[in-house]
Chain A
């Protein structure tokens, strides 16, 4: 792990009503790391991501972003502090153009850096071609690029991606993986992503956290990661 901590999660608990979902998540990500969070369906991966951005309230535990406690901040404040969230299913604003989708982050963060918009177009050239098109008419892969670009415009320290390869053709997934690696290399952005697709995990992860029953049960390092059996075992349990 890099020396400079970006995200520290300690003993994170969350519940839907009276049903506990997260029962003590611990994670630590350093600057510029690409880390995946894996596990079977229903173990709390998406809830962890939603809890990190603040869409699900933490009932116990701590979240720190670059050392600053953000556990009880609302989602908008966390986004402004540097968390970019790309949800499962993309959730672009379908009746707004590509450019308007990108401008939401720019306007909300109060950052009027036109360079970041141009950088996003450099990573995802298709977005520039389709900038006047309604986001709802884009293909799944284009929407995923838009969702990542939209989070990037906010100039984040940390990107949270929830199943970025879901429902997208493999060639586009590879292209997105390359773009994510470039974003990390060029901008030093830390990336945490939830994934079920073994190829995607192997392609870009440097470490894996394995979730089960709302807690982290294993951490797989770079060496072990490349013997894919270890990852496969945790996905298929």
Chain B
């Protein structure tokens, strides 16, 4: 009995980690700038490839993962400076531009790097509970997801950057009029969003075979979590992750993976119908 309960909790933690890690970067960029970043999957892919390349060059995995996240962040800042900043307040144009970037990157990678790469293998082995065997690394991923949420809370609630970023999110014009250089806030936040996407890729790199289009593996869960969570990453992303992880874990356990995926999509449709601004919009309204 204990083993079954542990198994369900383990699966919940696994799904929760995937949703949070995949969505955190997207949620920051959407919440801060209102930009729906269709190239989010490519930042994740960047994190994966850089991590794998670094490990294949003999670097320890944690260092390679840090470099993977940092690389995606730097690419994000470069992209913001060259393209995205010209598209603020033009949501449809930004969707089109980021989608175009996504297509160019995936096709470019297919041409340059080929259709698949050897992975690096999952570290840390496994452990057994009852009759079941579990990957230890998946628990690390759950810890990383909790760490990302805690880190975001600290950055946005306890630092000067966080106070100015939240002011910019709530009223960019007023923040400017008080002296906040909102362009810098946007660049830093886009970079942070991209770095978190890269971190997601870097953390999942050891669990996957590499293909240039692998960003798509994450993109549905990212968008579903952000839509359910709403624009406020602090208020919405964690509750959305918990809600969707419960739905998916339950359906996975009872009817299999496809039912879990369908359940996730049905959940997002129901939430859009009942809470058009997502969980964070609903919570903000209740506060007021």
**Hey, which bits of chain A sit against chain B, CB under 8 A?**
53-55, 74-76, 79-80, 85, 87, 91, 93-96, 100-101, 103-105, 107-109, 134, 136-137, 150-151, 154
A109 to B179: give the CA distance in the assembly, Å.
6
Given contacts A76-B179, A94-B170, 17 further A-B contacts (CB under 8 A): A79-B179, A80-B179, A85-B177, A91-B171, A93-B171, A94-B288, A96-B163, A103-B163, A104-B164, A104-B175, A107-B163, A108-B179, A108-B180, A137-B287, A137-B288, A151-B178, A154-B179
Contact of B164 among A75, A107, A137 (CB under 8 A): A107
Taking CB atoms, residues of chain B closer than 8 Å to A101 are: 167
CA of A137 to CA of B284, assembled, Å: 12
Determine chain B's interface SS by DSSP, over half rule: helix
CA distance A159 to B163 in the complex (A): 23
B88 → chain A, closest Cβ, in Å? 14
- The docked-state distance in angstroms from the alpha carbon of A51 to that of B33 is 24
Q: Report B's interface with A, CB cutoff 8 A.
A: 160, 163-164, 166-167, 170-171, 173-182, 232, 284, 287-288
Once bound together, how far apart are the Cα atoms of A74 and B177, in whole Å? Answer: 9
| Contact across chains for B181 and A76 when beta carbons are under 8 A apart | yes
Contact of B178 among A74, A79, A100 (CB under 8 A): A79
Most buried by A among B170, B171, B173, B177: B177
Q: For the complex formed, measure the closest distance between the CB of B235 and the CB atoms of chain A, giving whole angstroms.
A: 9
CB nearest to B174 among chain A residues: A91
Q: Which of B173, B176, B181 has the most CB of A within 10 A?
A: B176
B164 and A79 contact, CB distance less than 8 A: no
Residues of A within 8 A of B182 (CB): 76
Residue pair A150, B170 in contact (C-beta under 8 Å): no
- The answer on a CB contact under 8 Å between B177 and A53 is yes
* CB <8 Å contact, B287 and A134: yes
